């Protein structure tokens, strides 16, 4: 995720880091070439394009803008829900640590380190990485390699340990019920993240928007060239920047767990979980908070 100060006027004009321009630059270049060709064709054969006006494109552009705003709102809702789920993960791990504060370190440590392994495993699962290798330093090799869902296996192991503490009378049944609620909430966080990851926006919905946007931008220069002349490329590139930029931004936000510039900083949030759980165990050699590198926080 890009982390920047409030942009100044100069930044608004020329900032590329964190913008969508590098991704859509080839499309804008193609539209610029098409616009130049449209101006030349209109000058060479004005009779062919004499009846092609800008009014139909105005109506299509309004409809396309509304349609695109609906898609971008849906994509942003996915991004924001994912951020709320990871915020809930941080809340539940803090609550679990607080509710086990009276346990001795020997019993408490595997529980809290297991939660660190859960956070690492969930991030790896959402980013199509190796869960076991990410979880092994925290949850142990046996748990990290257990079953088709290692991340959930960690929660099962923590639940088993809590049940064992109850059977030996170390914690009461009421305390066990409270801890189990925390684990159930973490399981719900994982299920919610997996739902977002495994359920993209309907393909036909996205395809319709892409086709309409490309067709609109390709035909627009021929409607404007007669009236605007060599100003046509500038206006067309500006309009294409808006449409293609919103389209590309929606693609990034649709999968909020990736590693593109506008995706969620999962590694930074995992580091928050690590630091607070290790501090709860009395550790003093806490890993540092992750800082943005070249304005990018991962």
Angle between helical axes of 232-254 and 21-44 (0-180°, round to 10): 150
CA dist., res. 179 & res. 103, Å (int): 13
Helix residue ranges, H only, 5-54: 9-14, 21-44
Output the pTM of the full model: 0.87
Radius of gyration of the chain (CA): 26
* pLDDT tens track for 110-142: 999 999 999 999 999 999 888 888 888 887 777
First to last CA, the chain: 6
Which candidate, 76, 70, 63, places its Cα nearest to that of 215? 63
Domain ranges of the chain: 9-280
- DSSP structure class, residue 48: T
Section 188-198 average pLDDT? 95
CA dist., res. 11 & res. 145, Å (int): 48
* pLDDT tens track for 262-272: 888 999 999 99
Q: What residues are paired with 296 via a beta bridge?
A: 2, 293
CA dist., res. 14 & res. 8, Å (int): 10
* pLDDT tens track for 50-102: 666 666 777 777 777 787 888 888 889 999 999 999 999 999 999 999 999 98
């Amino acid at each position: 995720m890009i982390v920047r100060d409030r942009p100044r006027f100069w930044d608004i004009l020329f900032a590329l880091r964190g913008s969508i321009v590098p991704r859509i630059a080839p499309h804008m270049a193609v539209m610029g070439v098409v616009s130049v060709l449209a101006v030349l064709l209109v000058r060479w054969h004005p009779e062919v394009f004499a009846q092609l006006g800008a009014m139909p494109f105005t109506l299509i552009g309004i409809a396309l803008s509304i349609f695109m705003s609906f898609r971008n709102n849906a994509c942003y809702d996915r991004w924001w829900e994912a951020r709320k789920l990871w915020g809930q993960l941080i809340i539940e791990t803090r609550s679990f640590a607080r509710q086990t504060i009276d346990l001795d370190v020997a019993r408490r440590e595997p529980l809290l380190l297991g939660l660190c392994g859960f956070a690492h495993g969930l991030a790896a699962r959402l980013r199509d990485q190796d869960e076991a290798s990410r979880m092994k330093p925290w949850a142990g090799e046996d748990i990290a390699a257990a079953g088709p869902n290692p991340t959930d296996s960690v929660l099962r192991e923590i639940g088993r340990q809590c049940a064992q503490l109850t059977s030996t009378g170390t914690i009461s049944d009421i305390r066990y019920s409270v801890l189990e609620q925390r684990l159930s909430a973490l399981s719900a966080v994982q299920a919610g993240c997996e739902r977002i990851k495994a359920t993209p926006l309907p393909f036909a919905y996205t395809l319709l928007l892409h086709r309409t946007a490309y067709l609109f931008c390709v035909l627009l220069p021929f409607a404007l060239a007669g009236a605007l002349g060599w100003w046509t490329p500038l206006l067309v590139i500006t309009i294409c920047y808006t449409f293609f930029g919103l389209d590309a931004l929606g693609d990034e936000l649709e999968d909020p767990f990736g590693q593109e510039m506008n995706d969620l900083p999962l590694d930074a949030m995992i580091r928050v979980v690590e630091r607070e759980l290790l501090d709860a165990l009395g550790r003093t050699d806490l890993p540092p908070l992750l800082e943005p590198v070249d304005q990018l926080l991962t």
